[in-house]
């Protein structure tokens, strides 16, 4: 018997500065996903308004957890293993600026 998961699992969202609420352009968003075997790394870069979209991020259906990394110049990096992706997940991500060097 052949089983195919037909749920389109993707994620989109926005990355902003936690203090100002302003969008962060050029942030790198990455997630690792699996489909019964290692399928690869998905990557997206935020646009000028801070928005991003990660295409197909796996076939485990709604509620599937994935590792997620967010990197942006001059901001603290976020790495988590518990980002929940489902059909059309929306992620609002707030990054804290790194302390200024004296």
The CB-side HSE value for 46 (13 A sphere, CA atoms) comes to 26
CA-wise closest residue to 68 among 28, 23, 20, 21:
28
Residue 36 has pLDDT above 60, yes or no: no
Query: Given this model, what pLDDT does residue 2 score?
Result: 39
> How does DSSP assign 36-54, residue by residue?
SSEEEEEEEE--TTSEEEE
Query: Given this model, what pLDDT does residue 6 score?
Result: 45
Question: Starting from the edge strand earliest in sequence, which strands make up the sheet with 89-95, in order?
Answer: 51-54, 11-17, 89-95
User: Which domains does the chain carry?
Assistant: 11-95 (2.60.40.1120)
* Cβ-contact 28, 71 below 8 angstroms: yes
Residue 47 has pLDDT above 80, yes or no: yes
Stated pTM of the model: 0.80
Interval 19-30: pLDDT, tens: 999 999 999 999
């Amino acid at each position: 018997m052949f089983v195919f998961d037909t749920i389109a699992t993707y994620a989109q969202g926005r990355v902003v500065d936690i203090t100002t609420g302003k969008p962060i352009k050029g942030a790198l968003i990455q997630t690792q996903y699996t489909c019964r075997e290692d399928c690869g790394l998905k990557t997206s870069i935020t646009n000028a308004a801070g928005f991003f979209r990660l295409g197909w991020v796996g076939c485990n259906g709604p509620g599937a957890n994935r590792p997620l990394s967010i990197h942006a110049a001059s901001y603290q990096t976020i790495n988590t293993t518990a980002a929940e992706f489902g059909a059309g997940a929306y992620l609002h991500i707030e990054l804290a600026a790194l302390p200024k060097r004296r």
